[in-house]
Amino acid sequence: MGRRRLEVGEHGQIKVTQLAPKKYRARCEVRCRDGKIRSVQADGPSKGAATDAVKARAAERAVAAGRPRPGAAAATITPTTPLSVLADKWMQQKENEGKLSPQTIPDYRGYRDTIKKSLGELRIGDVTPGTLEWFIETEAGDRPAKAANLRRTLRAMFTIAIRHDAYEGENPARELTVGPSKREDAQEITTDQLKAYRQRVLLWMTESTPEDIEARERRGGRKRSGPPRTQDLLDIVDMQLATGARIGEVLALRWQDVDLEAEKPTATIGGTIVRIPGGKKAGGGLTRQEHRKAKDRFSVTLPRFAVDMLLRRKVHAVPNDYDVIFPSSTGTLRAPKNLATQLRAARGTEWEWVTPHTFRRTVATLVEREMSLEDAAAQLGHAGTEVTARHYVAKPKERPTADSSEVLEVLAPADRSQEYPRN
């Protein structure tokens, strides 16, 4: 009777030979994942140590050699592959797909690097759901958004490992728990608050805030050194309030995107300002992206105050290579990050809760209350109303008193004079 056929991953009889005092060599054969039988050997200071070593070597060789299935490409990911290699392979696949925008690639690389730094030396086969749970809690226990992105990355990584037969069982990142995102309720700025906010920004632009006056007194009445402060912050604020557009979309508006001579003047929102990683020689730096976040274009009708502001700017506009309405002081594209910094300085501590996105929420809230939720979604360029309602329309602090008295009259008794017996 012939010997029993070895199953894939199974090793045969182990033979141990003593090479020298406290030095032993163990040999055996193992059937690999491609069905072929290969010989492996390992040394150790004792028979038991050499035997254990050759068993581990046989298990590694069984999964590392051959092809995962007939006709498939040679496997490069195995249970013994370090997690750092798997993370790099995931990142390479994401970049090769060509679906990532240049400005988001650093974010994906950041999550990859975080995983490599903490878990990179672990072998794929050593990872458990508990390991990943600990990692998420350690790295982003108090940052739900970061935790969700790390979980998403790990899930995609182990999907690759499972496809390569490098991980047995279900995806270990599948059941990771992530706390809910701490999203603040949408907050609008009222007309009275907006008036005071505008006045504060105007004082900053003219260097007349209480802080400016105090600093000037400390300098003995001398003017502030450095470049003059930008004088068009309120124009940009007004454009946001007139359109509900994101700050990057407002800064990307070109004169060709507005029609001020139409019966109802309009602005077409169809681009945004982004920063591409890398230096100028590598194509990095600020650029006008030819589509906004949703990759579509839409037009909004401009209110009178915005038309007046644009007509005034057009009279004094200095041509720039990008044709943008709100260029930098040197005629280049304006960075949304720099503008946000200027607005933080201008608003002071009293208005620190007001951000450029506050104006977008204010527009959505006003349109929803005066017109409809559908109109508010259209104003912001949303495809549906769910995002508008959840993140942009401010909820009233108190529910209005329901007046259903006329409707409920149908429930009245037929004989209103009837008195019910009392106990």
Q: What is the pLDDT of residues 158-169, one digit of tens each?
A: 999 998 888 888
- Long-range interactions of 147-150: CB distance < 8 A, separation 24+: 147/178, 147/179, 148/178, 148/181, 149/107, 149/111, 150/111, 150/114, 150/115
Q: Which residue type does 131 have? A: T
pLDDT on residue 72: 43
**CA separation for the pair 91, 116 (Å, rounded):** 12
Comma-separated ranges of CATH 1.10.443.10 domains in the chain: 191-392
What count of Cα atoms within 13 Å lies in the side-chain half-sphere of residue 268? Answer: 12
**CA separation for the pair 212, 324 (Å, rounded):** 31
34 pLDDT more than 80: no
418 pLDDT more than 60: no
- The secondary structure element, H or E, covering residue 347 is helix 336-347
123-146 tens-digit pLDDT: 998 899 999 999 999 988 888 888
Mapped onto helix, strand or coil, the DSSP state of residue 31 is: strand
**Nearest to 288, CA basis, from 317, 324, 243:** 324
- Long-range interactions of 391-395: CB distance < 8 A, separation 24+: 391/183, 391/186, 391/361, 392/186, 392/360, 392/361, 392/364, 392/365, 393/186, 393/361, 393/364, 393/365, 393/368, 394/185, 394/186, 394/187, 394/188, 394/361, 394/362, 394/365, 395/185, 395/186
**CA separation for the pair 153, 147 (Å, rounded):** 10
> What's the mean pLDDT in 22-45?
91
67 pLDDT more than 50: no
Mapped onto helix, strand or coil, the DSSP state of residue 289 is: strand
> What's the mean pLDDT in 236-248?
92
pLDDT on residue 73: 43
**CA separation for the pair 303, 106 (Å, rounded):** 39
241 pLDDT more than 50: yes
398 pLDDT more than 60: no
pLDDT band at 71 (very low <50, low <70, confident <90, very high): very low
**In sequence order, what are the residues at sequence separation of 6 or more whose Cβ sits closer than 8 angstroms to the Cβ of residue 13?**
28
- How is domain 191-392 classified at the architecture level of CATH? Orthogonal Bundle (1.10)
Q: For the domain covering 83-163, report its CATH number.
A: 1.10.150
Return the residue matching tokens 């046989």.
Answer: 58
> What's the mean pLDDT in 23-41?
90
323 pLDDT more than 60: yes
pLDDT on residue 19: 93
pLDDT > 90: percent of the chain: 47
pLDDT > 70: percent of the chain: 87
Mean pLDDT for all residues in the chain? 85
Structure tokens at 216: 């000037």
Comma-separated ranges of CATH 1.10.150 domains in the chain: 83-163
pLDDT band at 334 (very low <50, low <70, confident <90, very high): very high
61 pLDDT more than 80: yes
214 pLDDT more than 70: yes
Return the residue matching tokens 């894939």.
Answer: 8
> CA torsion 190→193→198→201, rounded to 10°?
-130
